[in-house]
Structure 1
Amino acid sequence: MQKGNLPVLDISIEPSYLRVLQRNIWSERLVPATLSADGVSHEAGLAYRGAHTRGMAKKSYRVDFGAYNRAFGGREIHLNAEYLDPSVMRNKMSFDFFKDIGSISPDCQHVLLQVNGKPMGIYLQIESVDAFFLHKRGLSDGPIFYATSYYANFSLMASRYKPKSNLLAGYTRKQGEDEDSRDLEDLIAHINTISREDFGKEIVKYVDVEKYLLWLCGVVCTQNYDGFIQNYALYRNGKTGLYEMIPWDYDATWGRDWNARVMEYDYVPITGYNTLTARLLDVKDIRSRYQHLLKKILATSFTVEALEPKVTAFHQQLRPYLAEDPYKRKSIAVFDREPDYILAFITNRNQYLQQHLKDLS
């Protein structure tokens, strides 16, 4: 069913199972539920999802159908509350931006969610990054790891003074075998031990550098501070054997952090950060390719002219439903100011990055 131009999804769950979820919000255990869309009901397992957002009033959900579901194009979907984002559009804008610049990212759409008939407001339905994600894009099967904590920094160190006890710290294997985990350990070891002189010619045996640089452009433009050390999926292409990056959880972008506080346009440097990025940009030829890619994106995709129509369209699409969202109806005035805020960020961030392109020479 659609209400206006937003689909309506309805989760039905027995009160006893709802209490199970509420008693332990951190549990990954699925409880039985039914998800209805377009008049059709689908049996599924349901769990809360997210990190610090699980403690928020408006919960996000993971919905697992147990097998491929044709109506939803996969086995699993995520329903993000977008609770802390005053614009409700940052995640969607970010994923679309990555696609615009030639990188891959999950498909997503805004929906209205009801739980046991009770309106929960605007959600973002997001495709899961899994085998079906790969198949839809004609990509070869390969292991996928979720970067679930800031330890996923491609370093041997958990922090400046604390070595990692496990090279796979920060990663959760979504699909693959034990040998794939060992391969990821090898990757991290290589990133940290290849000599400076050999790094440029050796790293291309492990990482799809061109795709990494595209991803880096996306993170740097949208300024996802966490995106360098978590909030990504790492996929090893079964055909090429090379690792690729896929963005995930990009609501803390376009000038706001994960708590919706102002993040100034110059907070993240043009070089980004994490060990792999630093070592790649230490190679003159790779740094030059990054400079060329970013310069082109700053002149085309990451401009007010390119992005203003999208910002306006999302605002106009979502605006009629804010008053019906029990968690957002009191912040309509803030929502109405967000388009100008986002566009000002784009202007300032673009100028900042343009000015610092010379740093890559």
Structure 2
Amino acid sequence: MLKYEIFINPKILKNLEQDIWTDPVPAVLKMEGNHYAITLAYRGNVIRKKKKKSYHIIFKKPYTVNGAHEIHLNAEYSDISLSRNKLALDFFHSLGVISPRSKHVLLFINGYCKGIYLELESFDKYLLKKRNLPQGAIIYATNYHANFSLTTPKNKLKTSLDEGYTVKYGSEKDLARLEDFIAKVNTLNNDDFEKVIPKFLDTDQYVKWLTGVVCTQNFDGFIHNYALYHNGKSNLYEMTPWDYDGTWGRDLHGRKLSHDFVPITGYNTLTNRLLTFPHFNEKYVTTLSSALENQFTVKNLEPIITDLFNELKPYIGLDPYLTINEQTLEKEKLYILSFIKKRNSYLKEQMMTVK
């Protein structure tokens, strides 16, 4: 496991710890023998109030490192396996969905071990460049109002159709285009919807993304934990996952969820409308069936999970915030594998409901 060391003026660090919402502060990051000038800030909302916090790092000198301008170090504080996010994002990648790459690192700040963190790529224009993907707008779904609907999840009329979204890379015209898309999703009759929506949305890619959300059972994935990438070549929207710690049979707080908690049809307005069309159902059933026979199986995922947990075991005793041991990880591995088996069977049984 790579060792990351952050060096920061003790006074600045004290101020950062006292004000969890403070602006990014200057620091130095050492990794693999190299030193980089960075700015450092806490990231996330709920996690800022936890003992083990997550960090947002922006490279300043040099401006990019390994092709990235910024990275995220996630504490994964509510996940006793420290692995659900990585397992989910890697699973999406296996389905052919663009997703951030990740790896576990051991973090030190001013010589003190802060524990095991998950380093995540930032989904931005630099990621597109690294993957040789066409440049295009990237819009984050930053809260639960990003449900492709005219109303909020609490059935209140939105004041603006771009509620819940933040432009990561792009301009106001990209938000305007998104508003137009959401309006069409909600107001077009079925005949027009079938003709017009494929001019905005890569429906084949959406099916792969939907398969990933449904298999991993991310309750928030339909209305929050995603980014929209407007592919500059195809001129179509693609969905990308983000923050998938609430998966594999647990919610974002680490509480157990039944394997049938999230329905096969998902939750958001866009999916509900798409599923009214037989040809979309056929694409979905075909893609989901393939995943249930190949990627989303105990046979495929058990060695992946085992290798990941074995990588973590030598380091869990160094994390001052963890109360787990090797036996805890083994027990959690069995729980995840049990979820996969039950979820797989449940989805196969429910397949007829979307045909």
TM-score, with length taken from structure 1? 0.95
Give aligned-pair identity as a percent.
Answer: 48
Which residue does 2:17 correspond to in 1? 22
Secondary structure of the residue aligned to 2:287 is: helix
- Aligned equivalents of 1:51 and 1:95: distance in 2? 21
Name stretches of at least 5 consecutive residues in structure 1 with no aligned partner.
Answer: 1-5
Aligned counterparts, 1:19-98, within 5 A: 19-27=14-22, 29-66=23-60, 71-98=65-92
Aligned to 1:277: 271
**1:340 and 2:340 equivalent?**
no
Query: Within 2, Cα distance between the matches of 1:31 and 1:24?
Result: 12
Task: Judge conservation of contact 2:264–2:350 (CA < 8 Å) in 1.
Answer: yes
The unaligned stretches of length 5 or more in structure 2 are none
- Indicate whether 1:141 and 2:135 are aligned: yes
- Of residues 203, 211, 227, the one that matches 1:217 is 211
Q: Secondary structure of the equivalent of 1:164?
A: coil
Query: Match for 2:128: what amino acid?
Result: L
Are 1:176 and 2:170 matched, yes or no?
yes
Structure 1 residue 335 displacement after superposition: 2.6
Structure-to-structure mapping, 1:109-128, within 5 angstroms: 109-128=103-122
Q: Which residue of 2 aligns with 1:304?
A: 298
Distance 1:86 1:32 in 2: 31
Change (3 A) 1:110 1:15: same
For the pair 1:9 / 2:1, whether they are aligned, the reply is no
Q: CA offset at residue 345 of structure 1?
A: 0.3
Alpha carbons 2:184, 2:193 under 8 Å: kept:
no
Deviates more, 1:311-320 or 1:61-70: 61-70
Q: Which residue identity does 2:291 align to in structure 1?
A: I
Q: Which amino acid aligns with 1:17?
A: I
Quote the Cα distance in structure 1 between the aligned partners of 2:287 and 2:241. Answer: 18
TM-superposed CA distance for 1:70, in Å, is 5.2
Relative to structure 1, the CA distance from residue 60 to residue 254 in structure 2 (aligned partners, 3 Å threshold; closer, same or farther) is same
2:311 counterpart residue number: 317
Residue equivalent to 2:199: 205
Counterpart Cα distance in 1 of 2:290 and 2:82: 28
Shift of 1:302: 0.3
Aligned letter for 1:10? E
Aligned-partner SS, 1:323: helix
- The corresponding residue for 2:185 is 191
Amino acid at match of 2:249: G
Distance 1:58 1:10, change over 3 A: same
The answer for the alignment partner of 2:95 in structure 1 is: 101
Q: Deviations over 1:130-151 (max 9, x none)?
A: 0011111221111111111101
1:131 to 125, 131, 154: 125
Cα separation, 1, equivalents of 2:152 and 2:53 = 30
Could you say what secondary structure the match of 2:312 adopts?
Answer: helix
> Which residue, out of 242, 245, 257, partners 1:251?
245
Contact preservation (8 Å) 1:67, 1:75: no
CA shift, 1:331, in A, is 5.4
Q: How many residues align?
A: 355
CA distance in 2, matches of 1:51, 1:275: 26
Q: 1:91 to 1:65 in 2, by over 3 A?
A: same
CA distance in 2, matches of 1:22, 1:119: 16
Counterpart of 1:264 (choices 231, 238, 258) is 258
Once the two structures are superposed, residues 4-36 of structure 1 have per-residue CA deviations (whole angstroms, 9 ceiling, x without a partner) of: xx0000111112222332233234x21101111
Q: Which runs of 4+ in 1 moved over 6 A?
A: none
Where 1:336 maps in the other structure, the secondary structure is helix
Take 2:328 and 2:207, find their aligned partners in 1: how far apart are those partners? 35
Deviations 1:303-343 (A, max 9, x none): 00000000100111101111111111455543331100000
Whole-angstrom distance in 2 between the partners of 1:143 and 1:205:
16
Separation in 2, partners of 1:34, 1:172: 29
Letter in 2 for 1:352: Y
In 1: Cα distance, 2:347 partner to 2:251 partner = 19
**What letter corresponds to residue 344 of structure 1 in structure 2?**
S
